[in-house]
Structure 1
Amino acid sequence: MRLDELVGIPDTHLAPATPADCAELLVLQRCCWVQEALQNDTLDVPALHESLDDVLEWTSTWSTWCVRQGHRLVAAVRARLDGAVWEVGRLMVAPDLAGRGLGRWLLAYAEAQAPPGVTGFALFTGARSPRNITMYQRAGYRLAESAEVPGHIKGAVQLVKALPS
């Protein structure tokens, strides 16, 4: 299925993020993570405290993809190699487009971009974000043994997905 058919709106396309996308990425990120903060009863969510410089930095150190609907940035995801694990992060979909399958599609796309030799995937979400956790579990992720990860934000859990050997 084509991406524009998936979201039901023509002129929807995916492209690697560029520095020109960063201001919009920051706005979309805040729109998406305010909901996370409310669900998890904390404002201690890194995505809400990042600056434009932070976003510019991570778009140069992570592989980052943006989905546009015409000129509007409507979704994004980033990923990077951490040892033999492909870490997926900042998966975000504009709230008015949530529930159309775009997040699942982006997750699968990010996974498909993993370099050879990757043994699995990892990501983080809010412990009280049932919609996110359910989506990730349907995609084959499971809560990590020690889901509460030291050094990460209180209330965040890690989900992992091993690749078949």
Structure 2
Amino acid sequence: MIIGPATAADATEILALQRLAYRSEAELYDDFSIPPLTQTLDELMAEFPGRTVLKAVDGEKIVGSVQGFQVGDTCFVGRLMVHPDWQGNGLGTQLMAAIESRFTAVDRFELYTGHRSSANIRLYERLGYGQFRTEKVNSRLSLVFMEKHALQGEIAG
């Protein structure tokens, strides 16, 4: 398994993975109009210049991806996805560590997930993220916003 930078040339394969990986989220909320399922290839490609996009490759196949971008002292993490056949094997944890390691000059990381996405919430909590607010989107969905403060260096002793 190799985790490294993705480019716009990977967008078609990442979009296919995104549609596969987010299908379970759509089923959970009975809403197949969620942005990861409706995003177009052009829209995804337009995100590459302003974001750090990582991919996890097994052989020749992209089996995971995550992206992040910095605004001020915060890295916003999004679109963590793992191929269903690879879920539960630590790949999501590895991708999160990889994206966090790319943003060494931030004070905090922020992300969000749906309120019914208990596996996602458990993963993020295990990685040190805590919930700090929720936002109701509609009668079926509330977003849970989570944050993690970056390490501020070693403690002098």
Query: How high is the TM-score relative to the length of structure 2?
Result: 0.89
**Cα distance, 1:42 vs. partner?**
2.4
**Cα distance, 1:149 vs. partner?**
6.5
Tell me, yes or no, if structure 1 residue 20 matches structure 2 residue 5: no
Matching residue within 119, 137, 142 for 2:130 = 142
**Cα shift readout 1:132-162 (whole Å, capped 9, x = no counterpart):** 0000001111111x22277xx9422211112
RMSD: 1.7
Tell me, yes or no, if structure 1 residue 54 matches structure 2 residue 43: yes
How far apart, in 1, do the equivalents of 2:112 and 2:33 lie? 14
Residue matched to 2:143: 156
Specify the code of the residue in structure 1 equivalent to 2:84: P
**SS in structure 1 of the partner of residue 109 of structure 2:** strand
How far apart, in 2, do the equivalents of 1:81 and 1:39 lie? 30
Q: How many residues are matched?
A: 150
Matching residue within 122, 131, 134 for 2:119 = 131
Please identify runs of 4+ aligned residues in structure 1 that moved more than 3 A.
none
| Aligned residue runs from structure 1 range 93-132, under 5 A | 93-116=82-105, 118-132=106-120
8 Å contact 1:87–1:123 — kept in the other structure?
yes
How far apart, in 2, do the equivalents of 1:108 and 1:15 lie? 12
8 Å contact 1:123–1:160 — kept in the other structure?
yes
Query: How high is the TM-score relative to the length of structure 1?
Result: 0.84
How far apart, in 2, do the equivalents of 1:41 and 1:83 lie? 36
Unmatched 5+ stretches in structure 1: 1-11
8 Å contact 2:75–2:108 — kept in the other structure?
yes
1:61–1:149 distance in 2 versus 1, CA, 3 Å: farther
Q: How high is the sequence identity, in percent, across the aligned residues?
A: 35
| Aligned residue runs from structure 1 range 6-85, under 5 A | 12-85=1-74
**Cα distance, 1:106 vs. partner?**
0.7
**SS in structure 2 of the partner of residue 29 of structure 1:** helix
How far apart, in 1, do the equivalents of 2:74 and 2:141 lie? 23
Unmatched 5+ stretches in structure 2: 153-157
